[in-house]
Amino acid sequence: MTEYEGLIVKALGGFYYVRTQAGLFACRARGLFRKEEISPYVGDRVTVEPTEEDRGFITAISPRKNHLIRPPVANIDQLMMVVSTTQPKPNYLVLDKLIAVAEYKEITPVLVVTKEDLEEGQEIAEIYRLAGYEVYTVSSTLGTGIEAVRKALKGKITAFTGNTGVGKSSLLNALQPDLELATAHISQKLGRGRHTTRHVELYEVAGGYVADTPGFSAVELDSFEIIFKDQLQYCFKEFEEYIPSCRFTGCSHTKEKGCAVLQAAQEGKIAPSRLESYHAMYEDAKKLNEWEHPSR
């Protein structure tokens, strides 16, 4: 029987849409995946067994190099975290949680600062460039900075994510206008937009694939992506060079004397907001019990 290898580019209504050399197939997953408690994700490389012209079944899922539970997407090369200069203002704790999850999952974090036409984004960019991350500042309205982002997408699978209303869909439309993704009206009273993306889907853009993903909250991050306190320090890449110089083994980098990370922060080598986020996340991580999350 003929089978095809392909890439899941959309999951909607119980169907997985798989792009193969023979075309696009709308597929159901075989029952064996339910028995094994495996769910196909957008981004999965899979084997398809056609049943008719454009329908079929997914019979196998290739091993993943990484995956996220929320949003449900796999085999990501880079996670582009979109943050706006205003409307809404940046939530640094949520952004730093996103970055930590990417680091934990061994996905390259990249930042895109949007709405440069409304407010200058250099302050945000400097925080994360200091931490060692690639940062792009753009205005989707004016088209500035778009070409640099487009070049960064070539040959990669990239997930775009961030809080609702920051301009993910507008950015994707600027990168490739024929996508015509729905954009949200930003509530002046609430300072945030409605959810416009209802499902995860991969789009062919600039020689690569991008995933536009639903906005999600810090609560969902805490629920679905668990990072324990002993692992958290390694999810802040700017800490890496200082950790070996801490006076005490097992330093928490919160209040210890002789902590090289705290000293670096005092010297301006680590941004205050990043250290504050780490401390907040560490306090939450202290409350986690490993036996409650045996899969981690």
pLDDT tens profile 37-48: 788 999 999 999
Alpha helices in the chain (DSSP H): 31-35, 92-104, 122-130, 146-153, 168-175, 218-224, 229-232, 260-266, 272-285
CA distance 170 to 245: 44
pLDDT tens digits, 24-33: 999 999 877 7
Q: Which residue has the higher pLDDT, 248 or 160?
A: 248
Say yes or no to pLDDT of 196 above 50: no
Query: Under DSSP, is residue 92 helix (H, G, I), strand (E, B) or coil?
Result: helix
Say yes or no to pLDDT of 212 above 80: no
Instruction: Give the confidence band of 288 by pLDDT, cuts at 50, 70, 90.
Output: confident
pLDDT of residue 214: 58
Q: How many residues does the chain have?
A: 296
CA distance 238 to 158: 23
Query: Under DSSP, is residue 81 helix (H, G, I), strand (E, B) or coil?
Result: strand
pLDDT of residue 191: 40
CA distance 230 to 250: 8
Diameter of the chain measured on Cα atoms: 68
> Does residue 241 contact residue 252 with C-beta atoms inside 8 Å?
no
- Backbone dihedral angles phi then psi of residue 131, each to the nearest 5 degrees: -80, -10
CA distance 169 to 30: 33
- Give every CB contact of residue 21 below 8 A, 6+ residues apart in sequence: 4, 5, 6
Say yes or no to pLDDT of 232 above 90: yes
CA distances from 173 to 82, 118, 121, 201, 215 (A): 14, 18, 21, 14, 17
CA distances from 247 to 39, 216, 256, 274 (A): 45, 39, 9, 22
pLDDT tens digits, 116-155: 999 999 999 999 999 999 999 999 989 999 999 999 999 9
Instruction: Give the confidence band of 161 by pLDDT, cuts at 50, 70, 90.
Output: confident
pLDDT of residue 118: 92
CA distance 35 to 217: 30
Domains and CATH numbers, the chain: 4-61 (2.40.50.140), 67-219 (3.40.50.300), 226-291 (1.10.40.50)
Tell me what the pLDDT averaged over the chain comes to. Answer: 86
With tokens 């560490």, the residue in question is: 282
CA distance 225 to 15: 25
pLDDT of residue 134: 97
Q: Which of 145, 136, 81, 135 is nearest to 107 (CA)?
A: 81
pLDDT of residue 224: 60
pLDDT of residue 33: 79
C-alpha 83: how far from its chain's center? 12
- Give every CB contact of residue 107 below 8 A, 6+ residues apart in sequence: 66, 68, 76, 77, 78, 79, 159
Q: Which of 36, 103, 46 is nearest to 76 (CA)?
A: 103
Flag whether the pTM goes above 0.95: no
Mean pLDDT of 226-233: 92
C-alpha 107: how far from its chain's center? 8
Measured torsion, CA atoms of residues 259, 122, 115, 104, in degrees rounded to the nearest 10: -30
**Which of 50-64, 110-124, 278-292 shows the lowest mean pLDDT across its residues?**
278-292
Q: Which residue has the higher pLDDT, 194 or 20?
A: 20
Say yes or no to pLDDT of 296 above 60: no
